[in-house]
């Protein structure tokens, strides 16, 4: 063993974020990253009433090179931040996939959106897909259609949103729910 290199890895320390009681209020930008169809949502929580201010997908056509998709995602997320002025951003965390290529593609799309949020100084939180489904539907293995149906019902939307936009809305709802629990000391938020 080389001198100066520890024989065992150092333990990873995750410090819980202290959350003020008002953290469950305000405006969140929620992102469900994907190279060709990134879902986004801007939600406002005022006095316990959550409203969807804007939601949709960043659609990139199949003929656009991946590098062009990344530019498009980054630009749209910056535009959403400048237009809606959210206080925080919430992202779906990295998911387990069978294909290394798919993992890399999802990671780059996520990185483009994360960079835009970080450039604006937004606190960034992430939520596992199972946690989001559990929070909104009550079942961690819920199908996309179930998530879309529940998001429509919870937010009082007149139409069922596109699946990727529904996922982003669900991420935003999960953030408000989790921030509220964290403010009461029941859970801790994971900020990245």
* 14 within a domain of the structure (yes/no): no
Query: Residue 15 above 50 pLDDT?
Result: no
Q: Which among 41, 72, 37 is positioned nearest to 54, based on CA atoms?
A: 41
Average pLDDT over the chain, rounded to an integer: 84
Which one is catalytic: 79, 92, 126, 167? 92
Other residues' Cβ atoms within 10 Å of the Cβ of residue 146: 16
167 is catalytic: no
Residue 19: pLDDT band with limits 50, 70, 90 = very low
pLDDT at 20 over 70: no
Query: Could you tell me if residue 191 is inside a domain?
Result: no
Check: pTM over 0.85? Answer yes or no. Answer: no
Does the active-site annotation cover 164? yes
Q: Does 12 fall in a domain? A: no
CA distance 26 to 50: 9
159 a catalytic residue: no
Tell me if 169 sits within 8 A of 55, measured CB to CB.
Answer: yes
**Contact yes or no for 182/17 (Cβ under 8 A):** yes
Q: Residue 124 pLDDT more than 90?
A: yes
- Domain hosting residue 172, numbered range: 21-183
Q: How many domains does the chain have?
A: 1
pLDDT at residue 144 tops 60 = yes
């Amino acid at each position: 063993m080389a001198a100066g290199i520890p024989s065992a890895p150092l333990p990873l320390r995750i410090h819980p974020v202290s959350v003020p009681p008002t953290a469950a209020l305000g405006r969140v930008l929620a992102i469900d990253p994907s190279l060709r169809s990134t879902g986004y949502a801007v939600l406002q929580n005022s006095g316990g009433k959550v409203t969807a201010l804007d939601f949709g997908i960043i659609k990139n056509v199949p003929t656009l090179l991946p590098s062009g998709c990344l530019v498009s995602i980054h630009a749209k997320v910056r535009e959403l931040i400048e237009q809606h002025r959210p206080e925080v951003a919430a992202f779906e965390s990295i998911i387990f996939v069978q294909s290394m290529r798919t993992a890399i593609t999802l990671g780059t799309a996520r990185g483009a959106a994360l960079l835009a949020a970080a450039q604006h100084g937004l606190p960034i939180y992430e939520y596992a897909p199972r946690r989001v489904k559990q929070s909104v539907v009550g079942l961690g293995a819920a199908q996309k259609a179930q998530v879309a149906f529940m998001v429509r019902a919870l937010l009082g939307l007149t139409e069922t949103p596109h699946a990727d936009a529904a996922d982003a809305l669900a991420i935003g709802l999960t953030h408000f729910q989790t921030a509220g629990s964290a403010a009461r000391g029941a859970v801790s938020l994971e900020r990245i």
